[in-house]
Amino acid sequence: MSVRSVIRSAETALNANDINLALRLAHDFVERIISDPICTSQVFSSFEMDQLCLNIGRRNLDNLTVPERQSSSKLEKRSTIVYVASRLQRSGGHSRLIQDFIRSQPEKNHLILSTEIGGCSDIEFFSDLFGNKENVRFLRAPSENFHARLNWLQSTLLSIQPNQTYLFNHHQDSVAVSALVPELDLIGSFCHHGDHHLCLGVTMCHLKHIDFHPMGFHHCRNTLEIENIYLPLTFEDKKYVPLETDFMQGGNLVTATAAGWNKIEVPYYISYLDIIPRLLKETGGLHVHVGRLTPWALFRIYKQMRKHGIKQDRFVYIKRSPSVWKTLQEYKVDVYLSSFPYGAGLTLIEVMGAGIPVIIHKHMYSRILSGLELAYPDAFRWSNPEELLSHLEALRPEKLKKESGLSRSHYEQYHQPKILKNYFSRPEAFQIDIPELSRDFSPRLDEWAYFAAKRLGFRYVALKYIIQNLRKLRRTLRGS
């Protein structure tokens, strides 16, 4: 189904006053696009789909009963900041960003409104973070259809009349994007965290467009021609503790990676699951992995380790850690291997804050998925496994010590929490250097095309068809 046919179907639904169907059509279209690996970091925005969301939101607002203004005598004197999210969860950069926004403005009221598109929020997670903060609240949309959630969201925004609204929607969240129409007369910002897939809301010109890394900033401004600002990702400083002794204390490298299956177990011309056993054979050391992998991935890693005669305890698997920063320090990690094929930007910043040297993968076709500009300029970059293994073999303690200082310095210059506080204190006067795009990147689209045609052919299409029909069946059983 093409964009135009989706929009025609949605407009037909709107003319029949079926707002729920119109929202569903927009949601399901984006869901199909982001589920296709070939579209990852290739398709970023759709002006037509964003206009459809605006039309839906305006139509709904016209028929909405305006609620009375809510107030609280105890907190009325404080400014109120609203964060519109799709889901609040322990993992995911957007949850961390919202935390940072709240902590940087302790003098204000903060209200998180979640549409619950894509799953239920983790209430325990919110309570652990802000349960004792009287100025932070969390509200979830009713467990009803999309139209009911849109009614709830627009009514709540009208009732609260926040001083500032930040949109942190998931890619396919048509409810969140449709809600924030210009007619609400709110000061709002679109926070572009869904940055390597098609995402609804990217072209909404009535919202200030915020990009959180140099690659996204330059791409949105120069390629998508969007007027935007750069607000660097920040991470709480958990202290830089230089090693009391040299790196490679046991004589062998301790390497590490932090990422979940969704960033690693992705069709690509090389596989993390194959490279780690080779890395362990080459270094003779340990590799620490933080983040949940599927049982199949673990089986594949351990099988190849046995094939190479590598003991299983040299792959340290940590399913979840409250602090990647502290975990890497605890294991005295010598060098961090950034995840691939999808890099994890916020995790990379956490690693540099801890003063760990980093190694970055140059993605086959995507500058955004590479993340070269997030790392310090002297960080090693690699494309094929032989480059990586040769670099690891040549590493010595003195080089690692030097890069540790570079890593920490880069964090201090670009990613400390005080930068975010400076922005919120005077956003109109905020200025920061934006790293230029690295010249050490050239997409290899011909190779990607060959790989995609070879590996993502008939079997992939058949599998995708089965998955899509299972999703339809699940929605039918839920009655939504």
Whether residues 206 and 298 fall in one domain: no
In a domain, 439, yes or no: no
Instruction: Give me 224's structure tokens.
Output: 């998508």
Cis bond upstream, residue 322 (ω within 30)? no
Q: Nearest Cα to 400, choosing from 389, 391, 388?
A: 391
Q: Which helix (H) or strand (E) holds 209?
A: strand 208-211
CATH number at residue 345: 3.40.50.2000
In a domain, 31, yes or no: no
In a domain, 440, yes or no: no
In a domain, 25, yes or no: no
In a domain, 48, yes or no: no
Q: Which helix (H) or strand (E) holds 420?
A: helix 417-425
Residue-level pLDDT at 208: 95
Residue-level pLDDT at 460: 52
Contact between 179 and 147 (Cβ < 8 Å): no
Whether residues 164 and 270 fall in one domain: no
229 vs 210: CA distance, rounded Å: 5
Residue-level pLDDT at 480: 46
CATH number at residue 170: 3.40.50.11380
Instruction: Give, for all 480 residues of the chain, the pLDDT tens digit.
Output: 678 889 999 999 999 999 999 999 999 999 988 887 777 777 888 999 999 999 999 999 998 887 766 654 344 567 899 999 998 877 666 778 888 899 899 999 999 999 999 788 778 877 777 777 888 999 999 989 999 999 999 999 999 999 999 999 999 999 999 999 999 999 999 999 877 889 999 999 999 999 999 999 999 999 999 999 999 999 888 888 775 557 877 788 999 999 999 899 988 889 999 999 999 999 999 999 999 999 999 999 999 999 999 999 999 999 989 899 999 999 999 999 999 999 888 899 999 999 999 999 999 888 888 889 999 999 999 999 999 999 999 999 999 999 999 999 999 999 999 999 999 988 888 888 888 898 888 878 777 777 777 666 545 555 555 555 555 555 555 554
Beta bridge pairs of residue 254? 286
Neighbours of 355 (CB within 10 A): 23
Instruction: Name the residue range of residue 89's domain.
Output: 62-231
Contact between 274 and 268 (Cβ < 8 Å): no
Domain count, the chain: 3
In a domain, 223, yes or no: yes
Whether residues 280 and 391 fall in one domain: yes
Residue-level pLDDT at 314: 96
Whether residues 325 and 472 fall in one domain: no
Q: What is the 8-class DSSP label of residue 372? A: G
| Torsion, CA 195, CA 196, CA 200, CA 205, rounded to 10 | 50
Beta bridge pairs of residue 386? none
Instruction: Give me 232's structure tokens.
Output: 């660097």
In a domain, 244, yes or no: no
In a domain, 355, yes or no: yes
Which of 231, 265, 287 terminates a domain? The answer is: 231
Whether residues 72 and 120 fall in one domain: yes
Q: Which helix (H) or strand (E) holds 176?
A: helix 174-179
Residue-level pLDDT at 124: 80
